[in-house]
């Protein structure tokens, strides 16, 4: 299999995939910023009407239509125009028959916390009470409805960056006014009382792996913030919730975060369409990169 990996040239995940491939697959990293596309290009001397509809998508020097599949491993920041073009180019590849994992529609849904939460709720999963506002006045009204205690998150973001717990009205007002001045959407969720641990489930096709992440010093349970991980038995209930959450955003490869609340409810918090697996592979002693490659080979054969 010849696989283009859209991500950093120095990515740990590129190296892990190459290790797992053992020389049987060609793994080629392609940075998002090097994506280019041409439409209707043809030989002017011999061009035909059929050729006029041709297109190409390149990643630097590589023609991505020459790969068996494309794996998206990152979602770097960019302008609205850059992000839209990147998704459009991947959609063109997918429409022409090149498997793209995850599909651009899944990437768009998962990276948008409001849309992802709406999809999770529509799929019948319990989500925290959520309010999305565009000005400080509306955000303060939502803050009051949440009992003057809420988690504010960037609409686009990951690994807990920019996430804060607000418990004071004056601090909340200052935060909301700043976000309004920046032109940001103010995304608020109720704070779910929990025991300092959540569940990270990795969906790879029809397989689900899991770890429990705990943090004794921070209410956020991201590994990057010092949380520790331990193996988790994936019960049929957990497996079903994880696959339903991944399917809700259309991601066959997904990291699903579930939070056990002290109220006995298991909340669906987030779906990551470019999930990491370093901590999970280390904790479970499972070769996740090999599982990902096995899944991609099966997809490329279809």
Which whole number is the average pLDDT over 268-291? 95
Per-residue pLDDT, 49: 46
Give CA 41 to chain center in angstroms.
33
Question: In the prediction, which pLDDT does 25 show?
Answer: 94
Q: Is the pLDDT of residue 10 over 90?
A: no
Higher pLDDT, 54 or 93: 93
Q: Which helix (H) or strand (E) holds 271?
A: strand 266-272
Percent of the chain past pLDDT 90, that is, above it, reads 78
Could you tell me the CA-to-CA distances from 37 to 33, 66, 298 in Å, in that order? 12, 14, 27
Domains of the chain, with CATH numbers?
2-101 (3.40.50.20), 110-125+194-287+294-301 (3.30.470.20), 130-190 (3.30.1490.20)
pLDDT of residue 46: 52
Distance CA 33, CA 230 (A): 36
Q: What is the pLDDT of residues 99-138, one digit of tens each?
A: 999 999 999 999 999 999 999 999 999 999 999 999 999 9
Residue 158 has pLDDT above 70, yes or no: no
Query: Mean of the pLDDT values across residues 9-13?
Result: 89
2's enclosing H/E stretch is: strand 2-6
CB 244 within 8 A of CB 125: yes
- Whether the pLDDT of residue 149 is over 60: the answer is yes
pTM of the complete model: 0.90
DSSP 53-64: G-EEEEETTEEG
What is the edge-to-edge ordering of all strands in the sheet holding 266-272? Answer: 228-231, 207-214, 197-204, 253-260, 266-272
Of residues 186 and 219, more confidence is placed in: 186
More confidently predicted of 52 and 295: 295
pLDDT digits 0-9 by tens, 15-38:
999 999 999 999 999 999 999 999
CB atoms inside a 10 Å sphere around CB 170: 7
Q: What is the mean pLDDT of residues 157-174?
A: 85
pLDDT at 241 over 60: yes
| Residue 1 confidence class, pLDDT cut points 50, 70, 90 | very high
pLDDT in tens, 244-276: 999 999 999 999 999 999 999 999 999 999 999
Instruction: Report, in angstroms and rounded to the nearest whole number, the Rg of the chain calculated over CA atoms.
Output: 21
């Amino acid at each position: 299999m010849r696989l283009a990996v859209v991500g950093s040239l120095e990515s740990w995940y590129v190296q892990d995939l190459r290790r797992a491939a053992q020389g049987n697959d060609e793994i080629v990293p392609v940075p998002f910023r090097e994506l280019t596309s041409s439409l209707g290009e043809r030989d002017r001397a011999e061009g035909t009407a059929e050729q006029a509809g041709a297109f190409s998508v390149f990643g630097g020097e590589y023609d991505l239509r020459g790969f068996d599949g494309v794996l998206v491993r990152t979602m770097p920041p960019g302008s609205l125009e850059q992000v839209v073009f990147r998704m459009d180019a991947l959609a063109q590849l997918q429409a022409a028959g090149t498997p793209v994992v995850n599909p651009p529609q899944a990437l768009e849904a998962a990276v948008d916390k409001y849309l992802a939460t709406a999809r999770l709720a529509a799929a019948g999963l319990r989500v925290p009470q959520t309010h999305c506002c565009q000005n400080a006045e509306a955000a303060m009204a939502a803050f009051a409805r949440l009992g003057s205690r809420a988690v504010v998150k960037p609409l686009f973001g990951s690994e807990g960056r920019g996430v804060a717990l607000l418990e004071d009205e004056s601090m909340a007002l200052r935060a909301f006014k700043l976000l309004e001045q920046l032109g940001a959407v103010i995304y608020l969720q109720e704070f779910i009382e929990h025991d300092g641990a959540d569940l990270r489930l990795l969906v790879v096709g029809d397989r689900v792996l899991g770890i429990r992440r705990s943090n004794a010093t921070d209410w956020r349970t991201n590994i990057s913030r010092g949380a520790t991980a331990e193996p988790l038995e994936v019960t049929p209930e957990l497996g079903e919730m994880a696959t339903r959450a991944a399917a809700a955003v259309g991601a066959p490869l997904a990291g699903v975060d579930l939070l056990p609340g002290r109220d006995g409810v298991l909340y669906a918090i987030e779906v990551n369409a470019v999930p990491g697996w370093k901590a999970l592979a280390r904790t479970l002693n499972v070769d996740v990169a090999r599982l990902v490659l096995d899944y991609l080979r099966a997809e490329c054969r279809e």
